[in-house]
């Protein structure tokens, strides 16, 4: 016996899920500012630049510089995208290799 199924009620397509707060925060605020190793720039200069631009104390700036030197790169700040882009531009103006990106 054939069965007839009741017509499926027409449903409006579900709206795209609004991004959750965590996702929004990640997108807007979670941009990593990365400094990359280069063979020319002096270690002492990198420490100075990190102190001047990000306000780090000497020990923190030195630790980050050594991470750049030993591992090839280091995240030196995590900021909203616009601020991260400004930070990268400042690093570029000092001649450092720097990028920004999502974690």
Partner 1 sequence: MAQVLRRRGRIQVKVDKREREALIGIIDSLSPRLAAPLASAPRAYDDAKLQAEYDRWVRPDIEKGREADLTMVRDALSGGEDTLPLTEAQTLAWLRAFNHLRVAAGEILGIEGDGWEDTATEATKQKPEYGILIALGYLQEELVAALDS
Q: Is 27 in the site for partner 1 (CB under 8 A)?
A: no
Q: φ and ψ at 5, to 5 degrees? A: -95, 145
Single out the residue of 15, 39, 55, 103 in contact with partner 1 (rule: CB under 8 A).
39
* CB-neighbour burial class of residue 11 (10 A; exposed 0-12, middle 13-18, buried 19+): exposed
Where do we find the tokens 């929004």?
24
Which residue stretch of 3-11, 12-20, 21-29, 46-54 sits at the interface with partner 1 (rule: CB under 8 A)? 46-54
* Residue from 40, 64, 75, 80 binding partner 1 (CB under 8 A): 40
Q: Does 62 bind partner 1 (CB under 8 A)?
A: no
């Amino acid at each position: 016996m054939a069965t007839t199924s009741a017509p499926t009620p027409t449903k409006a397509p579900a709206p795209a899920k609004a991004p959750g707060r965590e996702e929004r925060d990640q997108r807007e605020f979670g941009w990593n500012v990365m400094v990359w190793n280069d063979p020319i720039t002096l270690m002492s200069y990198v420490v100075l630049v990190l102190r001047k631009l990000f306000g780090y104390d000497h020990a923190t700036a030195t630790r980050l510089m050594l991470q750049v030197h030993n591992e090839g790169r280091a995240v030196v700040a995590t900021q909203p995208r616009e601020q991260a882009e400004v930070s990268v531009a400042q690093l570029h103006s000092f001649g450092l290799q720097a990028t920004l990106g999502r974690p």
